[in-house]
Structure 1
Amino acid sequence: MKKVVVIGAGQAGSSLVAKLRNEGFTGSITLIGEEHVPPYQRPPLSKKYLLGDMDLERLFLRPESFYSENGITLHLDQVVQSIDRSDKVVITGGQQIAYDDLVLTTGSVPRRLPGAIGGELDGVYVVRDLKDVDAMAPEFRDGARVLIVGGGYIGLEAAAVAAKKGLKVTLVEMADRILQRVAAPETSDFFRNLHKSHGVDIREGVGLDTLIGDGRVSGAKLTDGSDLQVDFVIVGVGITPATALAEAAGIEIENGIKTNEMGQTSDPHIWAAGDCASFPYKDGRLRLESVPNAIDQAECIAENIMGGQKTYVPKPWFWSDQYDTKLQIAGLNTGYDRVITRPGDKDGSVSFWYYKGDDLLAVDAANDPRAYMIGKRLIEGGKSPAPDLIADPATDMKALMKA
């Protein structure tokens, strides 16, 4: 009987084991997770769950009973010590678990502030998993002062939740503007204005010099020389792929665990999916940090474990919820040289269309699901409407898909 072991009980791991059973895999399946709860959704953690609008059980991707009912052995609260590739076993919790195919869905780890600048003080948090959010939840008291370090989507989403709960929010971004690494100035401007309208103090081109406190954080000194009094700090300065286990096992690493087009690593019996994995894309390699990628890549690997020989072709899309605004992103904007702004049909709705020459690369749509869906279909279909058509409010957008 063929044995599949999956390390990492997140979105990718859960999707993979479910797909195996749905496709008729009859061998043994073991899913190993470091947390004490079954696989759950991460995006609502720092939003609906933190706001108290979603209970823990509603976070679960599938009821805990799903795993036993489908013959999936679920090991929770287990840290894998090592992978023995020669004997094809995983060592965890004092036991050895044999595999024929091993899948690494280990995800990513948040970057933390160095201890030398106060990163290890109490009251300094990152936003990644359930324990992080449970630890910081009591800090969200009306009138509390929070400093958010980092103006990417994680930092902005945390700022939105804090402002909604009545906190005094200061956000610092060392780059010239928020979202500089991932979005055009037009998208940055939209979200800067949105946050300022909710009372968030956004300081761009300003970094954190050091945190101050005796055991617990009480203040911060910024790189522009200003001082802040703070009650707690949220750090949102990016994530790194969780590759330590793979590296220790001698698996090739390149911006994550390096895989081929089918999801196999440098060891043909070991696969990788989700945030931790990089895969061939166009003339280079790509690592996508998104829920849809984790699902699609994991399901592709499940089919390939069963002999599918399927190439993974990503269809990148992302989203971010801030206040009452839903940002939906289709495509990858890397290399764009101009952005077309198109007002939406409703107040406050707008979309930003990224072009490289005459080629449509990506769309950012704020409260404009119609623009998002049309943009997504155009990009996936390899169609690029002339930029002046997108800029013209009179253009029939649906007609563009038939052109």
Structure 2
Amino acid sequence: MDHVVVIGAGQAGASCVAKLRNGGFEGQVTLVGAEPVPPYQRPPLSKAYLMGDMPLERLFLRPEAFYADQSIDLRLGTEVTGIDTDAQSVTVDGDVLTYSDLVLATGSVPRHLPAAIGGDLEGVFVVRDLSDVDAMAPRFTSGARVLIVGGGYIGLEAASVASKLGLQVVLVEMADRILQRVAAPETSDFFRTLHSEHGVDIREGVGLDHLTGDGAVSGAVLSDGTSLDLDFVIVGVGIAPGTALAEAAGIEIDNGIATDTHGRTSAPHVWAAGDCASFPYRGGRIRLESVPNAIDQAECVAENILGAGKDYAARPWFWSDQYDVKLQIAGLNTGYDRVVTRDGGSAKSFWYYQGETLLAVDAANDPRGYMIGKRLIEAGKSPDADVIADPSSDLKALLK
């Protein structure tokens, strides 16, 4: 009997099993998750859920009853200890499950501070899963002093929530500017100003030397010699693809679990999707860390398990919520050589070009600019930069 086993009960894993059933798959389906709760949304964890504006049940992607109704064997709080690609089996909490197809949706793991600089002290947190946020939430009290290490989107979102709840926030970024790895200076400037207006102390070009405390963190010494008194620390210094199981099974790794255009890995009958997977893209290979990619790629894998023979066509887009600003990003800005700013007052967007080719758009409170930019990029159209820069121009006309 056909049996699809999916390892990883996050957005990608949940999307894959739902698509299998929706596509008419009648064999056995097993979804294995390390956490003790059903698959849930991760983006609201560091925003609405941490703020107390979203109850736990609203985080769930589907009611737990869905999985039983669809005859999906949902195994929560379980550990996969090994994959045998020759025997087509996985070991789950001591049980051996054989599979006709295996999907690795193992997501990503946060980078931690080394223990040598205090990373193992109590009160040092990462923002990745429900248990992380539940552990830190009681510390979000007005007047508490928090250090945020890392000026990427995770760090900035955490700073936004902390500031709104009345905490004293210091954010350090070792690079010359916040968002340096992912955005243009114009976008960095926009968010630096936004956070400064809300009282966040952003220190760029400054890293963490070490944390201090006897068992629990109580302070920090920064790379410029500054000492801080602290109540807790949030670490947002990036993530790594969850490749440990695949590596141990001898599956090819290349910036994640390497897949072909259909989502197949180097092992027969083994597929991968989501944050853990890299795939061919425009003559190279990329890995996308986003909810839309996790959903689309996992659904494509499910279709291909059912025989569709379909190439995965990535359409990169992302978002970030900070204070009253919703940032929406379309495309990938890799290789840009200039940025065109469209300033509509409360709506502002930054358009990335490589020569005359439009690559990406960062749109802050500008849903119209985002949607039009996204459609232009997907259609391979590149409007004249002077038209973009003129806030009185009709963007919609560019789609004709």
Task: Give the alignment's TM-score, normalised by structure 2.
Answer: 0.99
AA partner of residue 13 (structure 2)? G
The answer for the alignment partner of 1:217 in structure 2 is 217
The answer for the alignment partner of 2:369 in structure 1 is 371
2:213 match: secondary structure: strand
The answer for the alignment partner of 1:303 in structure 2 is 303
Q: Deviations over 1:156-187 (max 9, x none)?
A: 00000000000000000000000000000000
Q: Does 1:19 align with 2:4?
A: no
The answer for the alignment partner of 1:394 in structure 2 is 392
The answer for the alignment partner of 2:196 in structure 1 is 196
Displacement of 1:283 in angstroms is 1.6
Displacement of 1:257 in angstroms is 0.2
The answer for the alignment partner of 1:128 in structure 2 is 128
1:133 match: secondary structure: helix
Displacement of 1:392 in angstroms is 1.6
Task: Structure 1: give runs of 5+ residues left out of the alignment.
Answer: none
The answer for the alignment partner of 2:259 in structure 1 is 259
Distance in structure 2 (CA, Å) of the matches to 1:268 and 1:93: 24
The answer for the alignment partner of 1:385 in structure 2 is 383
1:26 match: secondary structure: coil
The answer for the alignment partner of 1:41 in structure 2 is 41
1:141 match: secondary structure: coil
1:2-401, aligned counterparts within 5 Å?
Answer: 2-344=2-344, 347-401=345-399
Distance in structure 2 (CA, Å) of the matches to 1:174 and 1:392: 35
Q: Deviations over 1:185-211 (max 9, x none)?
A: 000000000000000000000000000
Displacement of 1:389 in angstroms is 1.1
Greater alpha carbon shift after TM alignment, 393-402 vs 179-188: 393-402
Distance in structure 2 (CA, Å) of the matches to 1:56 and 1:253: 35
Displacement of 1:394 in angstroms is 2.5
AA partner of residue 356 (structure 2)? D
AA partner of residue 377 (structure 1)? R
Distance in structure 2 (CA, Å) of the matches to 1:230 and 1:94: 43
Distance in structure 2 (CA, Å) of the matches to 1:380 and 1:221: 46
AA partner of residue 56 (structure 1)? L
Distance in structure 2 (CA, Å) of the matches to 1:60 and 1:397: 37
Distance in structure 1 (CA, Å) of the matches to 2:368 and 2:310: 31
Contact 2:150 2:173 in 1 (8 A): yes
Displacement of 1:268 in angstroms is 2.5
Distance in structure 1 (CA, Å) of the matches to 2:35 and 2:352: 39
AA partner of residue 46 (structure 2)? S
Contact 2:107 2:242 in 1 (8 A): yes
Contact 2:319 2:327 in 1 (8 A): yes
Displacement of 1:68 in angstroms is 0.4
Distance in structure 1 (CA, Å) of the matches to 2:397 and 2:50: 42
Q: Deviations over 1:343-380 (max 9, x none)?
A: 12xx4220000000000000000000000000000000
Number of equivalent positions: 400
Distance in structure 1 (CA, Å) of the matches to 2:188 and 2:320: 13
Aligned-pair identity in percent equals 74
Task: Structure 2: give runs of 5+ residues left out of the alignment.
Answer: none
2:43 match: secondary structure: coil
Displacement of 1:92 in angstroms is 1.0
Distance in structure 1 (CA, Å) of the matches to 2:163 and 2:110: 23
Q: Deviations over 1:200-257 (max 9, x none)?
A: 0000000000000000000000001111001000000000000000000000000000
AA partner of residue 195 (structure 1)? H
Distance in structure 2 (CA, Å) of the matches to 1:30 and 1:274: 18
Q: Deviations over 1:12-65 (max 9, x none)?
A: 000000001111111110000000000000000011000000000000000000
Distance in structure 1 (CA, Å) of the matches to 2:129 and 2:395: 40
Distance in structure 2 (CA, Å) of the matches to 1:363 and 1:65: 40
2:176 match: secondary structure: coil
2:194 match: secondary structure: helix
Distance in structure 2 (CA, Å) of the matches to 1:50 and 1:249: 37
Distance in structure 1 (CA, Å) of the matches to 2:179 and 2:92: 39
Distance in structure 2 (CA, Å) of the matches to 1:86 and 1:296: 29
Contact 2:85 2:268 in 1 (8 A): no
AA partner of residue 387 (structure 1)? A
Distance in structure 2 (CA, Å) of the matches to 1:317 and 1:268: 31
Distance in structure 2 (CA, Å) of the matches to 1:15 and 1:141: 36
Displacement of 1:393 in angstroms is 2.1
AA partner of residue 349 (structure 1)? A
AA partner of residue 371 (structure 1)? G
AA partner of residue 210 (structure 1)? H
Q: Deviations over 1:49-88 (max 9, x none)?
A: 0000000000000000000000100000001000011111
AA partner of residue 299 (structure 1)? E
AA partner of residue 273 (structure 2)? A
Distance in structure 2 (CA, Å) of the matches to 1:112 and 1:283: 33
